[in-house]
Amino acid sequence: MTLANWLHNGWLRPHKTSSKEIADLIQIVLRDLKDAERGVSDDWRFGIAYNAVLKLCTILLYAEGYRAEKNLQHYRTIQAFTLILGADRKADADYLDACRARRNILEYDYIGAVTAQDADELIAFTKEFKKDVMDWLKRNHPDLLL
């Protein structure tokens, strides 16, 4: 499967990004990582870290010229990153999909769906993933970096 296949299936649509848009998304990631480490509930820390990692996946898609359609947008944005960074990242995509499901529970169903360890783990993952995304941007789309 390729991003072009996903476009053909109607799961993605073309998107023309800019260095400003990418810079704005990076700023959201930085803000969210900072906020996720503050003294709020573990549920919120997890949700904020999830937002940051979702923005990193969005950066990858935008840089490649796509955006996910509204239907299953978070799911497709997360799953698409293996098509960009490589199939060897499938375990990471599976982890993020599990985080997506847990975030939905804590956002819509009940509190206490995650522990402090869960939040800390997602924050640490997001920090490492940010490095990977930034390195990938430098190698593949340096024109999108301000």
Tens-place pLDDT, residues 110-140: 998 899 999 999 999 999 999 999 999 999 9
- CA–CA–CA angle 88, 27, 76 (5° rounding): 40
Residue 56's pLDDT is 98
In a domain, 108, yes or no: yes
In a domain, 51, yes or no: yes
Coil vs helix vs strand at 13 = strand
pTM strictly above 0.85: yes
In a domain, 9, yes or no: no
Distance CA 74, CA 52 (A): 12
Residue 13's pLDDT is 97
Give the range of the structural domain holding residue 28, as residue numbers without chain letter. 17-144
Closest CA to 80 of 144, 133, 141, 23: 133
CATH of the domain at 93: 1.20.120
Residue 108 has pLDDT above 90, yes or no: no
In a domain, 124, yes or no: yes
The helix, strand and coil proportions of the chain, stated in percent and rounded to the nearest 5, come to 75, 5, 20
